């Protein structure tokens, strides 16, 4: 594998599992020194040790991203150990209560926004300090396709993720002149433990199969799929990519849900009937 991140340092939050862990391993494989940050100390230790066993360099750090003092301490320790910060992925997040806004408990609203949005804000602030001194760096944050399309449940999650997109765009515009790029990562359905509450809500394996089928590519993403895209975006190969919400969803948001809506299906049925009356064939549209 290439050494795109040789002599570079990356800090990743929520790196004890899922997308964060896969990204930590991927960047380390490509030469980065990685700070594996998670609220779960044991999970962070496992990921960091796996990187070291593979010949990479990593440290594990514990931080609750909602606490500014803990975030600051994690960044300071990373700088003390590695001397610089080139890539930061704010990835820590929590799932919502899976209800519409009228039924969303205030506790869930505050907790999800605190972790998913305020946590990103605190990490961005800390990352900007060394990157502005260096006049270089890449700031990434995990948003979601839920930032683009209203969902029937989990409103606090969608609001937190669109907030991440705007925060990242702000950073890209304001600090681009100082050599800093910023990108929001917007995955679709990714097969990670993070989605266990969703599987429970949509009917276990039956719901899982339905969600898998919703992507035109016919599957959910793996954490490694997302990590590969992040590695590209964080590398110098993407040196002119900044200020965007980068979607990784197997074309799910490209029109599948619209195609399956009752209104569109009704229109297509009516159109097919008209074409039959005038003697023209109509291609069959699959679900």
Lowest-confidence region among 16-25, 74-83, 114-123, 204-213: 204-213
Rounded to 10°, the helix 18-29/223-234 angle is 50
* 8 Å CB contact between 85 and 51: no
Quote the pTM value. Answer: 0.85
- Mean pLDDT of all residues belonging to the chain: 86
Return the pLDDT at 250: 86
> What is the average pLDDT across 8-20?
97
Angle (CA) 112-115-120 rounded to 5° is 130
Return the pLDDT at 83: 98
Taking CA atoms, 125 is separated from 15, 71, 89, 132, 261, in Å, by 19, 10, 13, 11, 42
Return the pLDDT at 42: 98
Query: Is it the case that residue 282 has pLDDT exceeding 50?
Result: no
Alpha helices by DSSP H, 39-154? 41-53, 68-82, 106-113, 119-134
Return the pLDDT at 81: 98
Sign of CA dihedral 169, 170, 176, 181: negative
pLDDT, tens digit, 9 for 90 and up, residues 217-250: 878 889 999 999 999 999 999 999 999 999 998 8
Is the pLDDT higher at 105 or at 135? 135
**Position 259 confidence tier, pLDDT thresholds 50, 70, 90:** very low
Return the pLDDT at 149: 81
Is the pLDDT higher at 33 or at 260? 33
Return the pLDDT at 284: 39
Q: What residues pair up with 132 in beta bridges, in sequence order?
A: none
**Position 194 confidence tier, pLDDT thresholds 50, 70, 90:** low
**Residue 88: which residues within 8 A CB-CB, separation 6 or more?**
10, 11, 12, 123, 124, 127, 131, 137, 138, 139, 140
> What is the average pLDDT across 181-201?
77
User: What is the rounded CA–CA span in Å between residue 120 and residue 65?
Assistant: 8
Is the pLDDT higher at 236 or at 95? 236
Is the pLDDT higher at 122 or at 203? 122
Residues with active-site annotation = 157
């Amino acid at each position: 594998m290439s050494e795109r991140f040789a002599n570079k340092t990356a800090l990743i939050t929520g790196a004890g599992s899922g997308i964060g862990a896969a990204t930590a391993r991927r960047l380390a494989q490509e030469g980065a020194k990685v700070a594996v940050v998670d609220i779960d100390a044991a999970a962070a230790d496992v990921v960091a040790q796996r990187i070291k066993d593979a010949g990479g360099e990593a440290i594990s750090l514990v931080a609750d991203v909602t606490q500014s003092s803990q975030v600051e301490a994690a960044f300071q320790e990373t700088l003390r150990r590695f001397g610089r910060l080139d890539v930061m992925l704010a990835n820590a997040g929590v799932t919502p209560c899976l209800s519409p806004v009228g039924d969303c408990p205030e506790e869930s609203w505050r907790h999800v926004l605190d972790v998913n949005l305020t946590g990103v804000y605190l990490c961005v602030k800390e990352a900007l300090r060394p990157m502005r001194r260096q006049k270089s760096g890449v700031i990434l944050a995990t948003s979601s396709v839920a930032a683009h399309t209203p969902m029937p449940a989990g409103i606090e999650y969608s609001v937190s993720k669109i907030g991440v997109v705007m925060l990242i765009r702000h950073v890209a515009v304001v600090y681009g002149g100082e050599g800093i790029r910023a990108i929001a990562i917007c995955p679709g359905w990714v097969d990670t433990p993070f989605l266990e509450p969703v599987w429970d809500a949509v009917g276990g394996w039956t719901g899982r199969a339905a969600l898998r089928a919703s992507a035109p590519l016919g599957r959910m993403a793996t954490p490694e799929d997302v990590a590969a895209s992040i590695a590209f975006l964080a590398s110098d190969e993407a040196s002119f990519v900044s200020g965007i919400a980068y979607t990784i969803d197997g074309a799910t948001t490209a029109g599948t849900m619209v195609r399956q809506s009752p209104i569109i299906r009704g229109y297509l049925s009516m159109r097919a009937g008209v074409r039959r009356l005038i003697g023209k064939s109509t291609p069959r549209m699959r679900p």
